[in-house]
Amino acid sequence: MKRVKAACITQTLHFMLKEDLGHDYAVKMVDEEVKKYKEQLERNKTQYKIVSEERQPDGSVILEIIK
C-alpha cells in the first residue's frame, strides 16, 4: 500500500543583479530583494521551507523553496 507523505511544489528563484547598476550596489539591492521576498512570505502566512540559499560568484542569489 502506498501513502502520500508530502505533495509539495519546489520553486527555484534566481535573484539576478541589475546590469545598469554598479556591482556593489547591485549586490546590496539583491540582498534587499531576497529579504523583502521572505518578509512577504511571512506576511501572507505562506507555509514554506527554504531548501537552499546559494550566493553565486557574481553576487546573485539562488533560492530554492518548498511551498
What's the confidence (pLDDT) of residue 9?
Answer: 83
Q: What is the pLDDT of residues 25-59, one digit of tens each?
A: 999 999 999 999 999 999 999 899 999 999 999 99
- Helix runs in the chain, H state only: 23-43
Bigger pLDDT: 7 or 64? Answer: 64
Is the full-model pTM beyond 0.75?
yes
* Extents of the domains making up the chain: 10-66
Running DSSP on this structure, what letter comes out for residue 20?
T
What's the confidence (pLDDT) of residue 65?
Answer: 94
